[in-house]
Amino acid sequence: MKFRVFSGILFLLFALFLPWWFSFFAGCIFLLIYPNFWELILGALITDLTFGTPLSRFGGFTLALTVLSLILFILRRFIVRRLFIKAPLL
Amino acid sequence: MIYQPRVNEGNKRKRRFTAGVIFILIVFLGIFGLTRAGKNLSGIAQKLIAPIFKAEGAFRGKITDLISFSSKSELLKENESLRQELGKVAADILDTEAVKEENSKLQAMLQRSDNKKLLLANVLSKPNRSIYDTALLDVGSENSVREGMLVFGYESVPIGKISDVYKTTALLKLFSSPGEIATVEVGEKKIPTTAVGVGGGNFRMLLPKDTPIKEGDLITLPGMPLYPLGTIEKIQKSETETLAEVFFKSAVNIYGLSEVFIVMRD
């Protein structure tokens, strides 16, 4: 439980202070370890709300990272089952 | 013997709850992301986060001061090389100042004076932190900043425009953000074209192969006064193609900037 809380806080700090690709990669790893890693969506939402602006490459959608993390959150169940990873590891 | 699968009511409820939360999230995200109805929410988020970034900036400065300490001989060497560089830059500045003076005289003669008013803004968060390639600035509507205002890296190199304004913060959208299109003029003949941002302060243009341009040519924003975006770094021509790919980089290292200037009046 301690590790779970620590991971959540660490991820939110990553999302705020480190480049997005690093936080995203770390978030994916945490998501594989913990079955309900809601912090991934929360971190993405904070990033989108803080830095999001309509860009042509996202079709003017300003919550791209949140949607991506939500998709990953849903897909995680199927991926982990296929990979035979028993979660949670910690 | 028939075995009845044991239905765990607790797990079922948990799954239903998760599915419900995800569904509600999708609906909200769709509404907020496409209609920009979440701008108020962004304002609140920025209000909460801006002080954290300010504190981080101060902390980072102190850490850098501590880490950057090196030996006396190294410092002397660095000092000497910086002195030499400074001498060269001072000579360049003299030259530039003379051209600037001449330019302003000519503009005054043509009744096109360049009396722009600039507002200094601190960069709270650099563009590489977000997937949107935007930078968070510490000025907002309180400082009369408006959407669409031009932003300079130094006092005359445009790097982007203000895309969103909140009470105490503003978002800077770079010209070089991937997929963003900027209208530019190329070379001495001021050939009008569009440059597409490819990220990291880089741009790509497509021009007919026989266009009279060369590496090192200046790229500016259209109109007066001249605002240089950068210079041509590479021209790629292929025998089979009718168009040449032209690459250029912003004259400013956008990731190294800690301050920018917002053009309040041009």
Residue A55 to residue B177, Cβ atoms within 8 A: yes
Look at residue A10 in the predicted model and tell me its pLDDT: 92
Check if B15 contacts A (Cβ < 8 Å): no
Do the beta carbons of residue A87 and residue A34 sit within 8 Å?
Answer: yes
Give the distance from residue A39's alpha carbon to the nearest chain B alpha carbon, in angstroms.
14
In A, which residues are within 8 Å of B132 by CB distance?
51-53, 55, 58, 64
User: Do B49 and A46 lie within an 8 Å CB cutoff?
Assistant: yes
pTM above 0.80, yes or no: no
Q: Would you state the pLDDT for residue B113?
A: 61
Mean pLDDT on A54-78: 84
Mean pLDDT over the full length of chain A: 84
CA A83 vs CA A29, A76, A90, B120: distances in Å = 14, 10, 17, 53
Q: What is the pLDDT of residue B83?
A: 87
- Res. A86: pLDDT tops 70: no
Question: What's the average model confidence in pLDDT over A14-34?
Answer: 89
Minimal Cβ distance to B171: which of A53, A57, A64:
A53
Q: Does the beta-carbon distance from B130 to A41 stay under 8 Å? A: no
Question: In tens digits, what is the pLDDT along chain B, a chain of 266 residues?
Answer: 555 555 567 778 877 887 888 788 777 777 776 666 667 777 788 888 888 888 887 787 777 666 666 677 888 888 888 888 887 787 777 777 777 777 777 777 766 666 678 899 999 888 888 888 889 999 988 988 999 898 988 777 889 999 989 888 999 999 888 888 888 888 888 888 999 988 888 899 998 888 888 888 888 888 767 788 888 888 888 878 888 889 998 888 888 888 899 988 76
pLDDT of residue B170: 92
Q: Which residues of B touch A71 (CB under 8 A)?
A: none
Q: For the residues of B194-258, what is the DSSP string, one character each?
A: EEEEEETTEEEEEEETT----TT-EEEESSSS-EEEEEEEEEE--SS-SEEEEEEEESS-GGG-S
Q: Are A50 and B46 in contact (CB under 8 A)?
A: yes
Chain A residues whose beta carbon lies within 8 Å of the beta carbon of residue B40 = none
Q: What is the pLDDT of residue B56?
A: 81
Closest Cα in chain A, distance from residue B139 (Å): 14
**pLDDT at site B114:** 63
B129 touches chain A (CB under 8 A): yes
